[in-house]
Each structure stands twice: as structure tokens, then as C-alpha cells.
Amino acid sequence: DSGVTQTPKHLITATGQRVTLRCSPRSGDLSVYWYQQSLDQGLQFLIQYYNGEERAKGNILERFSAQQFPDLHSELNLSSLELGDSALYFCASSPPTSGGLYRSSYNEQFFGPGTRLTVL
């Protein structure tokens, strides 16, 4: 158990719908990352938040958006869903690398169990 939680575990929905995936980082971690994992594309970085602010953006579609709240949990919103959006969505968190009680000499990421999204 990495300490990162994600809900729901599974989600089945129809094309054109909108869903929200939720992630709670490990205690003390300020960074949250979202990834999409599909069979043919591997692990694709979507977006990173640090202490409530967007820090880095990857291959995230305009139909997708995310935010990190003051309590540091994060939500990934996927709208106008298409069949091709079916994938495993991972959230990860990482400890601060300087200062604070939980700092780490590495910036390793701790992954949650993922949300499996199926779009029918």
C-alpha cells in the first residue's frame, strides 16, 4: 500500500458522458501527478499539481481538466468521453525534496491503485 488512495476503483460509462476521478496523496506530499495507462501507449503523463497550483502539463486533452484542492486532494475531470479514453488512470504523489518534515533526497513518485475507466 503506497498511501495514495484513488476512487472509484472502476468506472463504466457511455460515450459523451463526464466523469470525475479522485485522488488523495500521501500525508505530507505536496505534489500530485495524473497518468493515463493504455495498452498501446504505455504510461502517459497528463498533469502535475504542486500545493494547489499547476506545475507541469503533458499530453492532456482539452476535454480533460484537473485541480488540486486546499486539502491537497486532486480531481481529474474527463468530459465528452470517447471510446479511446478507456484506460487505467493513475494518480501519484511525491514528497518535497527540500525543507519540511517529509523531504526526500529523491523525487520518487508513489502511485495509487488506479481507476479503470471503461467507456462503452
Nearer to another protein, 50 or 79 (CB): 50
- Residue 85 has φ and ψ, to the nearest 5°, of -85, -10
Q: Given candidates 43, 63, 80, 100, which one binds another protein under the rule CB under 8 A? A: 43
68 binds another protein (CB under 8 A): no
Does residue 97 sit in helix, strand or coil?
Answer: coil
3 binds another protein (CB under 8 A): no
27 binds another protein (CB under 8 A): no
44 binds another protein (CB under 8 A): yes
- Residue 19 has φ and ψ, to the nearest 5°, of -135, 160
Q: Given candidates 10, 14, 42, 70, which one binds another protein under the rule CB under 8 A? A: 42
Least separation in angstroms between CB 14 and another protein: 26
36 binds another protein (CB under 8 A): no
How large is the C-alpha radius of gyration of the chain? 14
Q: Residue 35: which region, alpha, beta or left (left: phi > 0; alpha: psi -120 to 50)?
A: beta
Residues 85-104 that bind another protein (CB under 8 A): 90, 92
Whole-number Å distance between alpha carbons of 30 and 65: 19
Q: Spell out, one character per residue from 47 to 66, where the chain touches another protein: x when CB under 8 A holds, - when not.
A: -x-x----xxxx--------
Q: What share of residues in the chain are helix, strand, coil (percent, to 5)?
A: 0, 50, 50
